[in-house]
Chain A
Amino acid sequence: AQSVTQLDSHVSVSEGTPVLLRCNYSSSYSPSLFWYVQHPNKGLQLLLKYTSAATLVKGINGFEAEFKKSETSFHLTKPSAHMSDAAEYFCVVSAQVRDDKIIFGKGTRLHILP
């Protein structure tokens, strides 16, 4: 069984300051983990993915995430927030086996303050 918990439903940061969006997971298999971003009335765009290679994963738009097995965490970070980063972010876990379903976290709404 798999699950994913996004610890914050809303995060507000000032433009130019660091971003931290938290995600914890549980999985019976070696998981694949993803972060997706969704802007209003748009589909989901893949930011980055962890698939058992390097534990520090770099994604698009300056985002990165670190897989920490001991903490069962996969937090998303960015050194300096931009106004365009304001969106909903979803942490997703998958076991990548046949008929596996991807499990979404409830999402974190990121607000960027001018």
Chain B
Amino acid sequence: DAMVIQNPRYQVTQFGKPVTLSCSQTLNHNVMYWYQQKSSQAPKLLFHYYDKDFNNEADTPDNFQSRRPNTSFCFLDIRSPGLGDAAMYLCATSRVGQVYGYTFGSGTRLTVV
């Protein structure tokens, strides 16, 4: 089945140690999003790619970076995780112009120790 897959489901990292979360999709959607969701809060958009065009939200910390090497894959890099970065990270995809909605992955739960 076409879907959005996030790996790993759970990630534990040390304070200050770089970590990478991955997202892959088989939907051939041209837009990919990364969201951060803290406990009992709505998802917060960090950035998104429209094809290869990177769009950063104004309030996304520099500590967060992203890469999209091809249509199918998108990575979230946290250069120096702090305790405040512990959250669920959600990847989503969409195809602009086709109102199918947004397909979300199952998320990666990041713990910083």
Contact = CB atoms under 8 A, between A and B. Distances in A.
A51 interface: yes
Interface in B74-113: 88, 90, 92, 94, 96-97, 99-107, 109
Interface of B: 6, 33, 40-43, 45, 48, 50, 53, 55, 88, 90, 92, 94, 96-97, 99-107, 109
A104 B29 CA distance: 20
A22 to B, nearest CB: 16
A98 B50 contact: yes
A98 B106 CA distance: 25
Contact of B90 (A32, A44, A46, A99): A44
Interface string A21-48: 0000000000010101000011111100
Contacts of A98: 50, 96
Contacts of B104: 36, 43-45
A90 B42 contact: yes
Given A34-B102, A43-B105, A102-B102, A96 B97 contact: yes
A90 B92 CA distance: 15
A39 B18 CA distance: 29
A96 B99 contact: yes
5 contacts: A46-B101, A46-B103, A101-B48, A102-B33, A106-B41
Contact of A41 (B50, B94, B99, B109): B109
Given A104-B42, A104-B43, A106-B42, A97 B96 contact: yes
A81 B100 CA distance: 27
A51 B97 CA distance: 11
B42 A107 contact: yes
A49 B41 CA distance: 22
Contact of A99 (B40, B55, B109): B55
A65 B25 CA distance: 29
A97 B31 CA distance: 12
